Structure 1
Amino acid sequence: MNKDLEILAAYKPVIMQDKKEPFSITAMGCTIFRETKKSSSFPKREIVINREEVDFAIEYAVWYDFDIQHLYELEHVWVYVKHDGTVKKVEASFHGKFLNMVDLDNGGLILENGTHPVVYAQPGKHALVPDPRVIRIIPDWLESCQEKAGTDGVLVQDMFADQIHTDEDLQKMTETYIKEVFGFCPSMEFEPFILEDDKLMTWEELKKSIPERVNRQIDIIKTHFNQ
């Protein structure tokens, strides 16, 4: 992992977040693809490696303990690296799909120090776009941070259904907790969030830790309402 960690750190994305964003990234689960293979953390897509054009691709699974509308969030950035070490292409997740991360004015890549992709996170929701101007065309982008905050309660993905449990009472508590504690009005001014290298890990390590991370927040929510 030491050599891989150097690679992961060299291409780690810079996530631009709203200055009033209430949530921080606490981990990135990373996978290096050297051949075409289905993603384990974003199972609806296959990462295609054309060896004539790229040496490898890195998938960064970006972990948040909260989304402004539900408990926990996983977004993705894919960085495709050429044989000379330069970046060929960057993609990132956007509400269950993915977009090319390019400068909307000239189509070029947006990189810091030559190798670190720069992407913008939708306030509260964390969907990734290449330009903050795109955020204003997303339906309910503002309402989701205010009157619609918390509406989805505890999100339980199929891969964690046997380890994360919820019920109607917990759903209501989570909705109220998120709205009251984290509801905010985005500033639409952005600043970089750069995760420390020691928070990088393999996807399998992050996946293994997710139930504990989520259940820890559930305990905090329950304690909040039972004091």
Structure 2
Amino acid sequence: MIEVNLELIKKFIPVVMMDMKEPFEIDAMAYTVFQETKRSSSFPKRMVEIEPAKVSFAIEYAIWYDYDIQHLYDLEHVWVYVGHDGAVQKVEASFHGKYLNMVNLETGEANLWEETHPVVYAQPGKHALVPDKRVIPMIPDWKESCMEKAGLDGVLVQDMFEMEIHTDEELQSMTESYIKGVYGFVPSMEFRPFLLEEDKLMTWEELKESIPGRVNRQIEVIREYFNE
């Protein structure tokens, strides 16, 4: 059994390729280790399956952004499955509420940097993850969502935070106008790697506890923007 510690978790952190004009950086990344099949706490519709014959453990990386180009905050995921020999066996990542295999379109193998870090591409502004930037133009409204459709969904309130994050019609309208006016952009489709700062890595429990505060701080920023 491989001992999973913080250094090992850092070893498999995904490298997220982001559009050169992307207005939002990753504000935090959380991890959860799976050594047996279990439902994800941060992606409740997802059962993370561990095949003991092939996989020693899997690490779920939950990637937090204060903004999506169409709504307040975003949470994306990468799952890295590690074999008994310590090598990456498989990589999956979230895509608009579902997930995709992160494989090289030519070889069918995971794209890796320095043998252990999965390389994934973030859809500009929306942050859904794909294995290759060539997939992005296949996504409906991928460009429009960053421009005329920016801010469309206002404040997003997930069920797990509905008691701590509150919105109303006025705030929804302000948020839509704020995101579109401040962050709307034309994607370049040229990409750069995002390198996570160490103080932004934490457990899922730590990130979950901080989320209402993170969202409510941005709500205050938006209110102050319109009240100046």
TM-score range, shorter chain: over 0.9
Q: Write the letter of the residue equivalent to 1:60.
A: Y
Deviation at 1:39, TM superposition (A): 0.2
Structure 2, unpaired ranges of 5+:
none
Counterpart of 2:227 in structure 1: which amino acid? N
State the 1:168 CA deviation: 0.1
Q: Using the alignment, how far apart are the partners of 2:164 and 2:143 within structure 1? A: 32
- Per-residue deviation at 1:87? 0.1
* Structure 2 Cα separation of the partners of residues 7 and 197 of structure 1: 14
Distance 2:34 2:195 in 1: 23
Aligned match of 2:151: 150
Partner residue of 1:201? 202
Q: Which residue of 2 aligns with 1:128?
A: 129
Report the number of matched residues: 225
Residues 1:223 and 2:211 aligned together: no
1:31 aligns with 2:20: no
Distance 1:109 1:36 in 2: 22
The alpha carbon displacement at 1:84 in A equals 1.0
Question: 1:104, 1:173 → 2: CA distance?
Answer: 41
Aligned to 1:113: 114
Q: 1:55-66 counterparts in 2 under 5 A?
A: 55-66=56-67
The secondary structure found in structure 2 opposite 1:60 is strand
**Counterpart residue number, 1:92:** 93
Q: Distance in 2 between matches of 1:80 and 1:164?
A: 34
1:198, distance to aligned residue in structure 2 (A): 2.3
Aligned-residue CA RMSD (Å): 0.7
Structure 1 residues 45-84: aligned runs within 5 Å = 45-84=46-85
State the Cα distance separating 1:199 from its structure 2 match: 1.2
> How far apart are residue 45 of structure 1 and its match?
1.1
CA offset digits 1:71-110 (Å, max 9, x no partner): 0000000000001110000000000000000000111110
TM-score normalised by L of structure 2? 0.98
Q: Distance in 2 between matches of 1:107 and 1:206?
A: 33
Deviations 1:43-90 (A, max 9, x none): 001001111101000000000000000000000000000011100000
CA distance in 1, matches of 2:84, 2:199: 26
Q: Which amino acid aligns with 2:207?
A: L
Alignment check: 8 A CA contact 1:13 1:194 kept: no
Task: Read off the aligned partner of 2:76 and give its amino acid letter.
Answer: E
Any gaps of 5 or more consecutive residues in structure 1?
none
Distance 2:131 2:222 in 1: 34
In structure 2, the residue matched to 1:161 is 162
Q: Secondary structure at the match of 2:27?
A: strand
